[in-house]
């Protein structure tokens, strides 16, 4: 356990912040400059539940990640001193916002600083799937004999008329759309806030049914909410264009993984790329066993500068609230 306290000996920390996971090196170094604050910093790995509850007790603030479940028990353990929980993630499905409100605790997240990195990763997965990069890499590493042939590893012609369907045209969805437009893809999207039939930066707003029936690649960019849990299920998968691909860099719970596996096995879907999992960090072995599935361990936002920005925004939110100012990026219960 590393404990970083203010380096100016004369100034005794008056407020204490529990940091559940190690932040990036750059942001960890910056913590020493915050006079009057003591930081109780955890390890690289997530804390065990008992440790989380013990170390948050009596703290004024907590910086947590999506691996920590922040619920009634957490707020009760923390006690009345806790003013703010800053999640180092844009998603906040790990936090019970009603419990936070009951305890008068502000919750913040990190929107706007990870759109580019997440969209880059999403697009990397689209390219990897469409052009069968992982399958082909594995084929060579396995030592297979090969010779160039017109039928070898044929995949999706991404820039020759393929259609990308974006479910959720928020900041990340729009960043994915910009990349797809640069690759000459037709881009369609669903978005609850925009009129059907309208066009935003070259992206056509369509119904979910039309999107599923038309897109060669469907990519998910909605938060995990009760209304989006298993949005992709046996029924919606059946509506997808035969031979299409699914990409999920949002949250695992949005996809019914068993239904996805069945859609791949039946040949209805040609493949899927998955960055987030239903039982995370457990990965369904049936997904691992399917060569048409590309897997990454929830790393869509893992750009170096992006991770610094996420950690710094979480710290800045804590500083603002402890200073009596408005948080920069509060989560609002919808
Ligand atoms: C990562 O998944 C995030 O929500 O920021």
pTM: 0.94
Task: Check whether residue 191 and residue 257 sit in a common domain.
Answer: yes
Strands 106-108 and 163-167, bridge-based pairing: unpaired
Residue 26 is assigned to a structural domain of this protein: yes
Asked whether 166 lines ligand 1 (CB < 6 A), one says no
Confidence of residue 334 (pLDDT cuts 50, 70, 90): low
User: For the chain, what is the domain count?
Assistant: 2
Residue with tokens 């707020």: 75
pLDDT value for 250: 98
The answer as to whether 62 is a domain residue is: yes
**Could you confirm whether 286 is annotated as catalytic?**
no
| pLDDT at site 332 | 79
Q: Are residues 139 and 254 in the same domain?
A: yes
User: Does 72 fall in a domain?
Assistant: yes
Residues 156 and 255 in one domain: yes
Q: Does the CB atom of residue 311 touch ligand 1 within 6 A?
A: no
**Mean per-residue pLDDT of the chain:** 96
Q: Give the integer Cα–Cα distance in Å for 192 and 326.
A: 28
Q: Are residues 182 and 134 in the same domain?
A: yes
b/e sequence 237-251, b meaning 16+ C-beta within 10 Å? beebbeebbbbbbbb
Among residues 21, 132, 298, 307, which one is catalytic? Answer: 298
Residue 217's pLDDT band, with cuts at 50, 70 and 90, is very high
**Stretch (H or E) spanning 203:** strand 203-205
Same domain, 25 and 97: yes
Q: Which atom of ligand 1 is nearest to the CA of 310?
A: 5
Residue 187: which region, alpha, beta or left (left: phi > 0; alpha: psi -120 to 50)? Answer: beta
Within a domain: residue 35? Answer: yes
The tens digit of pLDDT for each residue in 14-67 reads 999 999 999 999 999 999 999 899 999 999 999 999 999 999 999 999 999 999
Judge whether 121 counts as a catalytic residue: no
CA of 251 to the centre of ligand 1 (A): 8
Q: In this structure, which residue's CA is closest to atom 3 in ligand 1? A: 89
| CA–CA dist 82, 158 (Å, integer) | 50
**Interaxial angle between packed helices 171-182 and 115-130, expressed in degrees from 0 to 180 and rounded to the nearest 10:** 50
Answer whether 89 contacts ligand 1 (Cβ < 6 A).
yes
251 is catalytic: yes
User: Up-side HSE of residue 198: CA atoms within 13 Å toward CB?
Assistant: 10
Domain that holds residue 271: 114-295
Res. 8 pLDDT band, cuts 50 70 90: very low
Residue pair 84/59 in contact (Cβ under 8 Å)? The answer is: no
């Amino acid at each position: 356990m590393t404990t970083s306290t203010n380096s100016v000996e004369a100034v005794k920390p008056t407020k204490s912040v529990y940091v559940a996971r190690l932040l990036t090196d750059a942001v960890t170094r910056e913590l020493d400059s915050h006079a009057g604050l003591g930081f109780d910093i955890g390890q690289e790995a997530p804390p065990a539940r008992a440790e989380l509850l013990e170390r948050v007790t009596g703290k004024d603030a907590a910086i947590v990640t999506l691996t920590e479940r922040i619920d009634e028990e957490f707020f009760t353990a923390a006690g009345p001193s806790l003013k703010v929980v800053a999640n180092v993630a844009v998603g906040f499905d790990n936090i019970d916002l009603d419990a936070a409100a009951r305890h008068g605790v502000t919750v913040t997240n990190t929107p706007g600083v990870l759109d580019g990195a997440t969209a880059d990763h999403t697009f990397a997965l689209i390219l990897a799937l469409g052009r069968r990069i992982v399958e082909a890499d594995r084929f060579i590493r396995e030592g297979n004999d090969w010779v160039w042939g017109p039928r070898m590893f044929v995949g999706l012609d991404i820039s020759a008329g393929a259609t990308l369907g974006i479910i959720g045209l928020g900041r990340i969805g729009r960043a994915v759309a910009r990349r797809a437009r640069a690759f000459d893809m037709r881009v369609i999207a669903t978005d609850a806030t925009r009129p059907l039939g309208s066009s935003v930066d070259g992206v056509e707003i369509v119904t979910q049914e039309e999107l599923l029936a038309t897109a060669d690649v469907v990519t998910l960019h909605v938060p995990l909410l009760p209304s989006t849990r298993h949005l992709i299920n046996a029924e919606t998968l059946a509506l997808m264009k035969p031979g299409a691909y699914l990409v999920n860099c949002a949250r695992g719970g949005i996809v019914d993984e068993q239904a996805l596996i069945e859609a791949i096995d039946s040949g209805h879907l040609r493949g899927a790329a998955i960055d987030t999992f239903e039982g995370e960090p457990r990965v369904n072995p049936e997904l691992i066993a399917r060569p048409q599935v590309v897997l990454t361990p929830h790393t869509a936002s893992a750009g170096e500068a992006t991770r610094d920005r996420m950690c710094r925004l979480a710290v800045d939110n804590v500083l603002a609230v402890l200073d009596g100012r408005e948080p920069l990026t509060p989560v609002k219960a919808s």
